[in-house]
Amino acid sequence: MNKFVVIEIGSTNTKSYLYNDGQVNNLSLKTIEFKNHYKKENKINEEDKNLLFEFINDIKEENIFVFGTSIFRNLPIDQKEEWLKEFKEKTALDFHIVTSNQENEFTVYGAIANIDYKGKIAVMIGGGGSTELSIVENGKIIEKANSSFGAMDTTDMFPDLRTDYATSDYETMVEETKKFVNKPQNKADLLILAGGDYIYYYEELNYPIVKNKFYENDLQPYCLDVLTMDKLDRNFFYKVSLESVCQRTNNDGWWRGARMRLCVKSLVDILEVKYIIPTRISMVYGIVEKIKNNEIDF
C-alpha cells in the first residue's frame, strides 16, 4: 500500500499523517482533552467524541488507520467495548488501541532509525496521560520504564501551571513529579524528546536551539544542553504570559499542556542527561512500517 492516512488519538492531542510513496507528512492536529474531561465525568465526554468524529470524517482519503493511546487503553472493559462499537458506527473505521509497550516501540523505531551514535540514548514519549521511556544502545532497546503519568497529571497536581504565570516552586514541582515517574536503571547522555511537537515549543517561543552535533538525521536537526534547557523552561513557567502565547498561536489546548516540561526535567535529572534532542517524531513511523508490511495484528 503506497498511500494511506494514520490517525493518532492521544489523551490531549489528535494528529493525522499522510503516508504517500515513501514520505510521511503532517495533515492536521486537533486538541481534544479526552483525559482531562474523563477525570471529571468518569466517561468519555460526548463533545470530545463529536469533535473526534468530525475530525476523522473531514479526511478525504480512502485508506485510514486509527490508533488510540493511554486514555483508551485504561478504559473499563464495558466502556471500552461500547467505545469501539460507537466509533465503528460513526466512522466506519476500526479503532486500534495501542499498548504502552507498542507505543514505545513504534516511536523508538522512528527515533533511532538511520542514526549513528555510539553510546546509550534515551527516548522519551511524552503524552497527556502517560510517559514512556526507552534506553537504546547499538540500535536496540535495552530497558523500558513506562509511567501512567503525563502532562494532564502535572497540571492537576499544580493547577497554576494552566494559568498565565506559574506560582508553584519549580524545584518542589520537579521533585513531586519524580515520585510518579518510573525510574530506569541505566543512564544516558542524550535524551530524544518524542511523541509531541517539541520543536514547535522552541520555535514559537523564539528559544535558541542549535544544530545536532551528534549525528545527521532530518527528523532530529537540533540539540540543546540541559543547563540552557532548564533556564528556558523556568522562563516559560514564570516570565512568559501563557495567555498571550495561546492567543498569538490560536492553540490554547496545546500550550496549556506544554508545561508538562516537568516530566522532561525529571527524566533529565534521573538519567543524568547532558543534551536533549527535541523532535516531532511520533509512533506514526513504526506504524507505517507495520502497515506497509501488512503486519497490523494489534
The hierarchical CATH code for the domain 3-98+284-292 is: 3.30.420.40
Within its chain, how far is the Cα of 74 from the centroid?
Answer: 17
Domain with CATH 3.30.420.150 in the chain: 116-278
- Between 114 and 186, name the one with better pLDDT: 186
Q: Which residue intervals of the chain bear CATH 3.30.420.40? A: 3-98+284-292
Architecture of the domain made up of 116-278: 2-Layer Sandwich (3.30)
Q: How confident is the model at residue 297 (pLDDT cuts 50, 70, 90)?
A: low
DSSP 29-60: EEE--HHHHHHHHSS--HHHHHHHHHHHHT--
What's the CA gap between 14 and 87, in Å, rounded?
A: 15
- Rounded (5°) CA angle 188-285-260: 55
Is 77's pLDDT higher than 60?
yes
The pLDDT value recorded for residue 167 is 96
Give the model's pLDDT for residue 277. 97
Nearest-angstrom CA–CA distance, 111 and 144: 15
| Matching residue, cell 525529571 | 266
Using pLDDT thresholds of 50, 70 and 90, give the confidence band for residue 120. Answer: very high
Task: Please say whether the beta carbons of 4 and 23 come within 8 A.
Answer: no
Residue 116: pLDDT above 90? no
Give dist(CA 132, CA 256) in Å, integer.
21
Instruction: Give the integer Cα–Cα distance in Å for 111 and 138.
Output: 13
Contacts of residue 16, Cβ cutoff 8 Å, sequence gap at least 6: 5, 6, 7, 8, 26, 27, 28, 29, 55, 59
pLDDT of residue 254: 81
Q: pLDDT per residue over 229-251, tens digit each?
A: 999 999 999 999 999 999 999 98
**294 falls in which pLDDT band (50, 70, 90)?**
confident
For 148-181, write each residue's pLDDT tens digit.
Answer: 887 778 888 999 998 999 999 999 999 999 999 8
Give the tens place of pLDDT for each residue, 39-55. 899 999 999 999 999 99
**Amino acid identity at 20:** N
> Higher-confidence residue: 187 or 111?
187
Residue range 216-234: average pLDDT? Answer: 95
Residue 109 has pLDDT above 60, yes or no: yes
Residue type, 140: K
When pLDDT is averaged across residues 17-24 and rounded to a whole number, the result is 90
Average pLDDT over residues 17-33: 89
> What is the residue-averaged pLDDT of the chain?
91
CB 283 within 8 A of CB 98: yes
Q: Quick one: pLDDT band at residue 187, thresholds 50, 70, 90?
A: very high
Closest alpha carbon to 154 in 124, 125, 174, 134: 174
The 10 Å CB-count burial string (b at 16+, else e) for 255-293 is bbbbbbbbbbbbbbbbbebebbbbbbbbbbbbbbebbee
Residue 269 has what pLDDT? 96
